Structures are given as structure tokens and as C-alpha cells.
A = this chain, B = another copy of it.
């Protein structure tokens, strides 16, 4: 698939497998997708180079590690002018407790997923940082009670 830019069945199998287990060895991956290790590794590298694979992450158990509170925050801005948006996004990127941020349609402008050690820290962040930030008009939070499914990524059949 190097230059052509088209993914074949083996590429998709590689992607699916790596999405499920990002630390599988190349030997095992090769076996699963039906190749010998060298061409398999070459494909993985090509997929990385081409940006189909953007990185690898360990999934950590937030609760066990003392991060017990997660909320969704829907944020409305006062001004949606280009420069204001950019500034808000920059702020969001600088807040460690905000792990994900999406521009959304509908009533709010942004949907944030925030993670913190406890309710107090979360409240502190929402009131003192988020709500108080320049250009923030409204913040509506939804507390996450439990994670029922977590398979981030894409549905590869």
C-alpha cells in the first residue's frame, strides 16, 4: 500500500489488531494477519508514516490510580469569532484535567471530557478555571457515574 494509498484486507487486519492490542509483537501480529514478520513490519511502519496510525497509548485504570471523577462539560462561548475560538482552544489544551475537547453542533459550542481525583478538585476546576475563563458564557456539566463501555477508536469489522 506504500504509495498507492489504498488499504487492502491485510492492512485493515493490522489496524484492527493494533487497535485492540497496541503492544502485540510483530511476530504475533504477522501470524494473525497472515504474513511473515518482515513485510508485516513494513506495513505497520508505512501505516504509521502515512498517518493512519497516530500513536500508541497504555490505557490506565483511572479509578485505581485515584482519578475517580469524570464529567462532560458543555461549554457555550460569548463570541465565536475565529480568534476567540483559537484562544479558548489554546486554554483547553493547557488544562490537564481536560482530556478531550470537541467542537459540537447544537446548544453548546464545545464538549469537554474532564478527569480529576475527586469532586472537590473538579468543582474547583469548573468554577475557578473553566467558568471563569475569558469568553466563556455558559457551562453545563454532566457527572459520569459509571463507564459501561470503552472501546475508543473506530468500528473495524
A interface residue numbers (CB < 8 A to B): 7, 15, 18-23, 50-62, 64-65, 67, 70, 72, 89, 92-93, 96-106, 108, 110-111, 115-116, 142-155, 157
List 8 A–B pairs whose Cβ atoms lie within 8 Å, in order of A's numbering.
A52-B65, A54-B60, A57-B59, A100-B147, A100-B151, A104-B142, A111-B144, A115-B153
Q: Closest chain B residue to A96 by CB distance?
A: B155
Complex Cα gap A157–B96 (Å): 8
Assembled-state Cα–Cα distance A10/B99 (Å):
23
Let me know if A146 and B57 touch, CB within 8 A: no
Q: A104-B144, A106-B142 are in contact. List 9 more A-B contacts (CB 8 A).
A: A21-B55, A23-B23, A60-B154, A67-B155, A99-B149, A99-B154, A105-B142, A111-B142, A115-B155
Partner of A56, one of B56, B108, B143, B147: B56
Contacts of A60 in B (CB 8 A): 15, 18-19, 52-54, 153-154
Q: Are A103 and B146 in contact (CB under 8 A)?
A: yes
In the bound complex, CA of A143 to CA of B101 (Å):
13
